[in-house]
Amino acid sequence: MSGSCRGLTARAQDRPNGFFLTSPLIVSAGYEENLFTGSGQLNDMATILTGPTFEWIRNTHRMTFFVNYLPEFELFSANPSLDAWNQSASTRLDYRIDSRNSLSFSDSFLDTKDSSRQLENSLVILPYGQFLQNTFYGEYHYRWNTLTKLTARLDNAVTTANLPGPLNGRLNEVGTAGTVTLDRSLTSKHSLSVSYSFLHVHPLSSDLGGSPTNVNLLILGYAYQINPTLLLRLTGGAIEGSESAFNGAAVVERSQLGGVWLAGGYQRYLGFFEGLPVSGEAVPELPASPTAWRLLRCIR
């Protein structure tokens, strides 16, 4: 009796390459009330067409690269002069040098007339007007060992805003931030992180935007894997600049509940500042800078 043994070769699933539509076309409509424009406040019916997102992806065994573009059109019934073509685009490159070292680079561009819909968590609602912003970051990751990882990051954002009234030109600025983060796994369920960032915001015009601003940010984080599908994250930190502030957040993530993925959280921000006068009203200096807040959200 004779026999033979044949090995079975398992082939990993190929990673996607090529052109894709990664979000659907969305059509929505609503009534805009007290829309703040250069000619005052108005009410109108608006229709918004969003997407789809066009994306090109390239993968190799060490590299992942993609470019995407998302168009959006705002159409007003009684005020066609306010019609807008909003657009955003981004590109990202991830490269693994070896088992310990890796690099990430990304650049994003935003062109919109309705910045309040794009700047999430902004403490200042900006009026309707042309808003341009380009944001770049680069990251270096070093895995010290199986439990510890070190990350160094550089962020840069350039913002120009053609807004009505006293805000015109005051938000034109360049922001640069450097961040160092240390992540440490204590056990299979508990992990800690500490992050320090330094942010410098420089107005493009000192006459309109004032003097440059420096901000220090320290964040502590804790994560608890309650079970394989439930995660709790707690973060807290302090912001020190021309004014001081503290913030904290708690997030619960449910990885899967049947066919639904869930996440919920709470964030609290407490600031102490003198305020920057705009049209007779006190507007906080730090939150008035979309570049500063966009970079702070990224590095957190």
Q: Which of 154, 161, 130 is nearest to 140 (CA)?
A: 154
In this structure, are 65 and 166 located in the same domain? Answer: no
121: domain CATH number is 2.40.160
In this structure, are 68 and 164 located in the same domain? Answer: no
In this structure, are 185 and 50 located in the same domain? Answer: no
pTM over 0.95: no
E-only strand ranges, 113-259:
130-143, 148-162, 173-185, 190-203, 213-227, 230-240, 244-257
In this structure, are 238 and 205 located in the same domain? Answer: yes
pLDDT for position 281:
35
pLDDT for position 145:
93
Structure confidence by residue, pLDDT tens digits, 97-137: 999 999 999 999 999 988 877 776 565 667 788 889 999 99
Structure confidence by residue, pLDDT tens digits, 216-228: 989 999 999 988 8
> In the predicted model, is pLDDT for residue 299 greater than 90?
no
In this structure, are 115 and 30 located in the same domain? Answer: no
Q: Which of 215, 96, 100, 103 is nearest to 152 (CA)?
A: 103
Structure confidence by residue, pLDDT tens digits, 3-62: 444 444 444 456 789 999 999 999 999 888 877 776 677 888 989 999 999 999 999 999
pLDDT for position 272:
54
Domain that holds residue 27: 13-89
**248 domain-assigned:** yes
In this structure, are 57 and 105 located in the same domain? Answer: no
Structure confidence by residue, pLDDT tens digits, 231-285: 899 999 888 877 788 888 898 888 766 667 777 887 776 765 444 333 333 333 3
Between CA 290 and CA 87 the distance in angstroms is 18
pLDDT for position 2:
39
